[in-house]
Structures are given as C-alpha cells and as structure tokens.
Amino acid sequence: MSRLQSWPEPIIRVHELSESGIKKIPENFVKLPSDRPSEMTKLSSSHVDNIPLIDLENLKSSDESIRDETMEIIFKACREWGFFQVVNHDVSHELMANARGVWREFFHLPLDEKQKFANSPITYEGYGSRLGVVKGAKLDWCDYFFLHYLPEKLKDENKWPSLPISCRQIIAEYGQEVMKLCERLTKILSINLGLNEDYLHTKFGGDNERGACLRVNFYPKCPQPDLTLGLSPHSDPGGMTLLLPDTDVAGLQVRRGDDWITVKPVPNAFIVNMGDQIQVLSNTIYKSIEHRVIVNSAKERVSLAFFYNPGGDILIKPADELVTEDRPVLYLPMTFNEYRAFIRTKGPCGKSQVESLKSPR
C-alpha cells in the first residue's frame, strides 16, 4: 500500500492556536452536530458509575478467595467494559509523575524546538497534530508525540525529544516499568480465558517480535470545547493500552450503551483497555470498546498512552481453544500490519474498523 510522504494540508499546531487568544476555533476543528459532546451526553455520563477499579495487591493475598474474586472482577471488566483502572501495580508513583511532568515541559517548549521532531504520515513517529491523511477531514484538538519502544529494530532514541534534558532517560525508564506491568496483565488475561499464562505473550510474538509504542497526548485549552473533541471516537487497533491520565482534569470518555462515561482517574492509577487485537484473539470474549476525549476551556491536559501490541507480521486470529459450536470463529485472520494499513488512511473511526473484519457466516 502506498503512503503519503507528507501531510495533505499545512499542519496546524493546536497549542499555538490556543495560545494565540482566539475566541472561536477554526472551522476544520468544528465537529458535525451529531459528533459533538452535547450537554445531554455530559449529564447522562455524570450519573453513571466509574469504570471498575482493580487493586493488584489483592493477587498477592494469602487468602485464595480474595485472589479468585480479584481475577473474576478483572474478567468481568474485560468482558463487559473493556476498561478498568489498576492501583498497586508496582510502577513507581514518582516515575509516573516525572513522566507526565517532563512531557508537559516538552509541549511548552518554543515551537522551533518541537518542530525539530515533526512527524510525517510515513510512520507518525515524532511530534504531530493530526491523524489520517484525508484532505479536508475534521481535525481533533490535540498535539501529540509518538515513539517506538519495541521491537528493538524500530526503537531510535535519537528521534525522542532531546529537551528537557532528562526526557530521554525518563522515557526509557518509564517504558521498562510499564512493559513489566503489561507482561503481568497479559498473563492474567490469558489465565482468565482458560489458556496458558503465556498465551497472549506468545501470540504477540514473544520477547523478540512483540511491539510497544507510546503516544503522548497534549490537549490545550479550547475556547469552544462543546464544538470539538480532543480525540474522535475510536477503538485502539493494537493489543492492550495502559493510559497514564492527567491528575488535574478528566477528559477520557468510554462508550457504555448509548452513553458516554467520563472516567474519573484514581490517583496513581493506570487506565487499562483492551485493543482490537485482543478482541480478535479472545473471539470477542474480551471487548475493545469505543472511546473519545473531550477538551476543557480552563485547563490543558497531558496523558500518556502506552500501546502493547502484537508484532506487525504475526497473523492474528481467534484462539482455537475459544472456538466452539456456540461461539464459532468470528474474525478473519489478518496480520497487525495489514490491519493498520486497513485503518491508516481513516484516522479514528469508531468500532467499524474491527467489526468489518468479522468472518461471514
């Protein structure tokens, strides 16, 4: 599949727009009325319970009933919500705060400094302000930075920000620690499916082929937050996402039936969600749920989304052990690279991207 070498239109840096003092957002950021975060949506979401909260310390309990109950809560969260928050996850709270802080500093650097890392549609790696390459598309109110951790052949620390001075060191340490948590969680997810604890690790490609990348999102203050979104509705195309949210202001919304639930971040927690590849591997037992981000007129937000993915050339299909007469194969086999190529030109597009892979019956 051919890829554009450059963006189809001049890039608009959202932070620069926000800082310019505009009272109205440009028309290309204004969503269609049906896609806007309406007051009705906000009211309905404020009265719904938060996503499940998991204390991973319970899995170390000497009481088997506590361990079993915690495993069941995780299974139910993956099956019914596709999202949950985890605390007592063994990632240093200081490291989490430092990672958020250093990225906030980066996005407040002078534009010329950030532009040294400007990205292109070829890999999206670097400093960016749009997803998708459709000319004239509605844009999201967000700047971001995207980088690779794994596989090693894709990792290039020279493409990581050189300022602030501590940035590269903190990024590397953060990736190592969050990777350990991903490994721990995929074991739990595998066991809860009745599979070997290393099943998902192996299907992702093991130590040598699995993928991991980071997208740091910066949502500047917006003068008309009711007309736009920080990130349009979508499900994550990869395996599993660990989100480190902003501590000061909520913004992530999760689809729950006809409602959008605004997630209330718990202090020092990660928000975990299933991606499309885990939905496929689990034969839709685990759900990859649509979500979006709203913006704020009074406060900016920074969040770190760590994506833990299968290797790009590995064929992903439902686990044989999860295919039964009552639950036949629901998805056609496809490599992760093929899937990404399939959705690359569209940008965020709700759940249609994974549902279109369903096997004809």
Of 123-137, 188-202, 277-291, which range is least confident?
A: 123-137
pLDDT tens-digit series, residues 31-84: 999 899 974 454 344 444 589 999 999 999 999 999 999 999 999 999 999 999
Q: What average pLDDT score do residues 105-118 get?
A: 97
Return d(Cα 215, Cα 205) in angstroms, integer: 21
Phi, psi of 209 (to 5 degrees): -120, -15
pLDDT at 340: 85
User: Higher pLDDT residue, 258 or 361?
Assistant: 258
Peptide bond into 8 cis (omega under 30): no
Angle at 272 between CA 266 and CA 273, to 5 degrees: 135
pLDDT at 361: 56
Peptide bond into 52 cis (omega under 30): no
Q: Is the pLDDT of residue 254 over 90?
A: yes
CA 236 to chain centre: 6
DSSP 57: G
Return d(Cα 361, Cα 210) in angstroms, integer: 31
pLDDT at 48: 42
Task: Point out which residues pair with 7 in neighbouring strands.
Answer: none
pLDDT tens-digit series, residues 121-174: 888 899 999 987 788 889 999 999 999 999 999 999 999 999 999 999 999 999
Q: Is the pLDDT of residue 352 over 60?
A: no
- Does the predicted model carry a pTM greater than 0.85? yes
pLDDT at 351: 60
Mean per-residue pLDDT over the chain, rounded: 91
Using a pLDDT cut of 70, give the percent of the chain over it: 91
| C-alpha closest to that of 262 among 77, 86, 78, 39 | 39
pLDDT at 50: 85
Of 92-96, 267-271, 346-350, which range is least confident?
A: 346-350
